[in-house]
Amino acid sequence: MSERLGQNFLIDKNIIKKIILAGEVTSSDIIVEIGPGKGILTGALVSTGAYVIAVEKDEKLFNDLSIKYKNTQNLELILGDIRSFDFDHHVSLLGKKYKIIANIPYYLTSFLIRQLMALSHKPDDIVLMIQKEVGERMVAGSGDMNLLALSVQLFAQVKVLFGVSKVAFSPAPRVDSVVVSIIPKPVSILDSNDIEDFFIITRSVFQNKRKMIANPLAQVLDIEKTSVYDILKSISIDPDIRPQELSVEQWVELFYATKKIQK
């Protein structure tokens, strides 16, 4: 993507090497790169022998990349917005597992994470360069839980691999970055049919995260607070606890306990 679309181009070759190592990229891999920009990471990826599918929204950058890599057999360049890219269709045509590796624009992070976690044909591994603050929120545990961490950790194991200074980019962003690894879980602890209802509840409760959980939960479920107390006590959760103090597992247990009451 171009600078006007929020892209800061990675220029530090050492960081690029670390990203390749983090993704454990081999010649047998299929890699989807999001927003290749000027193609520095792209060049490192194709040099491993992996088959790279690079999706670029900016037409000028796409044309430049097409010229730069016109004789590269293991690179497929696609002009388009990753938000409308059909991962399931495109990657399944290749009939193999795949990985996602990218330095993504900060404004895309939350949407893209939700999109990737909802895929039916999930990648084996996702290695992303994201804003440091967002990466730290993503790996938060009980005590500092938030909606982003919950939406990722429900479906994947996530960890921060290493930090990246703002000087590794051109133009330099205002903040530092981190590289994270997101490995989708083979089986989610939340049934796919319940995902929408789960996030209706959690999103509403986290809007009042400073309050004790019983109050916003009673509001979103439209039931008496005494009934909420009964639900919480039945699964050994303190009614005076705040939303950020629950673990991912406790949130799922709480959701299914509320479903029983609503039936």
Query: 73-95: per-residue pLDDT in tens?
Result: 999 999 999 988 888 788 776 76
Contact at 8 Å (CB) between 65 and 36? yes
Nearest to 2 by CA among 53, 42, 55, 60: 60
The answer to whether residue 184 scores a pLDDT higher than 60 is yes
Find out if CATH 3.30.470.20 is the number for domain 192-262: no
Q: What percent of the chain has pLDDT over 90?
A: 65
2, 32 Cβ separation under 8 angstroms: no
pLDDT grade, residue 200 (50/70/90)? very high
Q: Kindly state the average pLDDT of the residues 175-204.
A: 91
Overall average pLDDT of the 140-157 stretch: 92
Query: Which of 54, 56, 48, 44 lies closest to 14, judged by CA?
Result: 44
- Any idea which residue has 């497929």 for tokens? 76
Range with the poorest average pLDDT among 31-40, 81-90, 223-232, 236-245: 81-90
Mean pLDDT for the chain?
Answer: 89
Domain range summary for the chain, segments of one domain joined by +: 3-184, 192-262
Provide CATH code, domain 3-184. Answer: 3.40.50.150
CA distances from 112 to 11, 30, 180, 210, 218 (A): 23, 19, 14, 27, 31
Beta carbons within 8 Å of 78's beta carbon, 6+ residues apart: 53, 54, 55, 56, 85
pTM across the whole model = 0.87
